[in-house]
Structure 1
Amino acid sequence: MMAQLIDRKQLKQQMKDLLRSAQVGARGMTLLYLALVCALNLTDSLTGLVNDGLPAMFVSILTSLLGMVLSAGFVLYCMAVRRGERAEYLTLFDGFSFVGRIILLNIVEYLFIFLWSLLFVIPGIIAAYRYRFALYDLYENPGIGVMEALEMSKQQTLGYKGQLFLLDLSYTGWYLLASLPSLIQVGYIYAAVFQDPGYFLADPTRVYALSLPLPLPVQVLLGCLWPLAVALFYLPVYQCTELGYFDIAKHTSGVSLSGAGGPDQPDDGGWGGF
């Protein structure tokens, strides 16, 4: 079947209405998810301030992996909402039942995108959209292999990469708002350099010492809390809308194993046994 032209605005509105009727409130679930993510980010940042050696690296890797699992749980909640099913708060931790596959798929997907990016920026961006649905395929079918999930996404995104790009583009305002603390920091640095360029030309490393005139803990909290507070207002709709694209792509491509497999099913190859 040919790719379908998706009415993005209509789909967004449908998702907003759907989230209002969710059996477990979307705002509460999103708040819990973002609070846990914020706690992980703060742990990572504070550890880096106290110790920038091996312990900090270990904590950074650990928090990143836990973030992947929590992200999986949040998507599973959104999938349940789209199906009209009840998903409790503990759904956020359902990713631990197939954590190995989640981590491995994230790593392999990142590696593929990185390798394509070495050719040029555009191939890397295309690769990112090519594998956009791989994690969703894995969440629906935890028993499939990593390479199988990537191949499924490759087929499902045919004809939809541009539409997914436009979906992301429609949230540019939210992304900029979430990045406001970073933008202010960059503006402050540029203003300081512009006022006395000779001082910084004499020693360019002085730029790295520039920061907003705020206590360091306040800067860390602001950098962590503000983006997550903004995400609270757009993330549930965005995630459910993207899952709407995923469902349409499955239907039009005919590539779907929905309901098949499971974390306790035997693996069928493609590194899925990790």
Structure 2
Amino acid sequence: MMVQQIDRKQLKRDSKALLRTAQVSPMAMTALYLGLVLVLDAADVLSGGSAALGIGSLLSTFVSVLTWLVGMVLSAGFVLYCMAIRRGERAEFLTLFDGFAFVGKVIGLNIVITVFIALWSMLFVIPGIVAAYRYRFALYNLYENPGIGIMEALDMSKRQTVGYKAQLFLLDLSYYGWAFLAALPSAVLEWCVSYQELSAIVGLAGTPALITSLLALSDFSWILIIDLWSLVVSLFYLPVYQCTELGYFETAKSTSGVGFGAEPPRQDGWNGRIHPDDLGGW
């Protein structure tokens, strides 16, 4: 097993160059993907409001589960679009719905990953984080080869991520600023709620008018604000981030010899330096 030290900055530059060659605009595809997610979130909120009016909590639960599952499949379609770009293939807008061709496995694998990470997290926070990176490539394995089983995709990811977990963590860390910016409205809402609760506990007189006005907005209004803001911010980083992570996946396949179309591992430190210290769990 060889581990390659990936040049993250160069890979990001390469991903940006690849995205410029896409026949279908990455920004347009990202806008379509996140726009559909916004519609799903809005439908979820509206169904919750209907339940509050007594129309039916069963309907609300059904809509919530359905929107969650459809969101998983749309996410698969967005990754498939980015995979096609990295292969130099044409990907149309309809690629976003390609995940429905193997929807059962997409949903099943997402659920299994969530359960496994939750179980590891029960031991402590760190094992849960390590598990999340251990299964990071499982969905990619399935997207490349829908014929494999769920547990096979997980096992492949475990072998592929040996020595790459720390590098993936650093990749995520390099996008922390973008992620924080995208989540800014949510952070503002949480801060307003926390301020109001703290004020009630310590007995502060009154709440600032701005906070009162923000908290007076409906759940539906907040969903629109949060999702629209996230959509706009994500247009500038999400396609690059996704294509860059797929570059990590391709490198891990090549050096481990595990995965669809993976070449046998080479012994000459191809295209990078080999660091023996990386051969552990991280």
For Structure 1 versus Structure 2, the TM-score category normalised by the shorter chain is: 0.7 to 0.9
Asked if the contact 1:34–1:232 (Cα under 8 Å) also holds between the matched residues in 2, the reply is: no
Asked if the contact 2:77–2:98 (Cα under 8 Å) also holds between the matched residues in 1, the reply is: yes
Instruction: Report the counterpart of residue 81 of structure 2 in structure 1.
Output: 77
Q: Which runs of 5+ in 2 are unaligned?
A: 205-211, 263-282
Structure 2 counterpart of 1:65, from 69, 75, 84: 69
Letter in 2 for 1:134: A
Question: Against the structure 1 CA distance between its residues 136 and 187, is the aligned structure 2 distance closer, same or farther, given a 3 Å change threshold?
Answer: same
Instruction: Report the counterpart of residue 221 of structure 1 in structure 2.
Output: 224
Instruction: Report the counterpart of residue 147 of structure 1 in structure 2.
Output: 151
Structure 2 counterpart of 1:178, from 179, 182, 189: 182
Q: 1:67-110 CA distances to partner (integer Å, 9 max, x unpaired)?
A: 11111111000000001100111111111111111111111111
Matches within 5 A, 1:205-244: 212-244=215-247
Matches within 5 A, 1:110-121: 110-121=114-125
Instruction: Report the counterpart of residue 204 of structure 1 in structure 2.
Output: none
Asked if the contact 2:105–2:150 (Cα under 8 Å) also holds between the matched residues in 1, the reply is: yes
Deviation at 1:29, TM superposition (A): 1.0
Question: Against the structure 1 CA distance between its residues 148 and 198, is the aligned structure 2 distance closer, same or farther, given a 3 Å change threshold?
Answer: same
Report % sequence identity.
63
- Deviating runs (4+, > 4 A) in structure 1? 193-196
Matches within 5 A, 1:245-260: 245-258=248-261
RMSD of Structure 2 on Structure 1 (CA): 1.9
Q: Which runs of 5+ in 1 are unaligned?
A: 201-208, 260-274
How far, CA to CA, are the matches of 1:14 and 1:251 in structure 2?
18
Matches within 5 A, 1:100-115: 100-115=104-119
How far, CA to CA, are the matches of 1:107 and 1:194 in structure 2?
36
Is the aligned partner of 1:90 residue 2:94? yes
How far, CA to CA, are the matches of 2:110 and 2:200 in structure 1?
44
The total of aligned residue pairs comes to: 251
Deviation at 1:224, TM superposition (A): 2.2
How far, CA to CA, are the matches of 2:43 and 2:173 in structure 1?
31
How far, CA to CA, are the matches of 1:122 and 1:150 in structure 2?
19
TM-score, normalized by length of structure 2?
0.84
Letter in 2 for 1:135: L
Instruction: Report the counterpart of residue 22 of structure 1 in structure 2.
Output: 22
Instruction: Report the counterpart of residue 271 of structure 2 in structure 1.
Output: none
Question: Against the structure 1 CA distance between its residues 99 and 196, is the aligned structure 2 distance closer, same or farther, given a 3 Å change threshold?
Answer: closer
Asked if the contact 1:189–1:211 (Cα under 8 Å) also holds between the matched residues in 2, the reply is: no
TM-score, normalized by length of structure 1?
0.87
Larger displacement relative to structure 2 (245-254 or 15-24): 15-24
Deviation at 1:198, TM superposition (A): 3.7
Asked if the contact 2:178–2:233 (Cα under 8 Å) also holds between the matched residues in 1, the reply is: yes
Deviation at 1:199, TM superposition (A): 4.1
Asked if the contact 1:131–1:150 (Cα under 8 Å) also holds between the matched residues in 2, the reply is: yes
Question: Against the structure 1 CA distance between its residues 152 and 210, is the aligned structure 2 distance closer, same or farther, given a 3 Å change threshold?
Answer: farther
Instruction: Report the counterpart of residue 3 of structure 2 in structure 1.
Output: 3
Q: 1:104-138 CA distances to partner (integer Å, 9 max, x unpaired)?
A: 11111111111111111110110000000000000
How far, CA to CA, are the matches of 1:137 and 1:215 in structure 2?
41
SS in 2 for 1:233: coil
Question: Against the structure 1 CA distance between its residues 131 and 215, is the aligned structure 2 distance closer, same or farther, given a 3 Å change threshold?
Answer: closer
Deviation at 1:23, TM superposition (A): 1.5
Matches within 5 A, 1:18-57: 18-51=18-51, 53-57=57-61
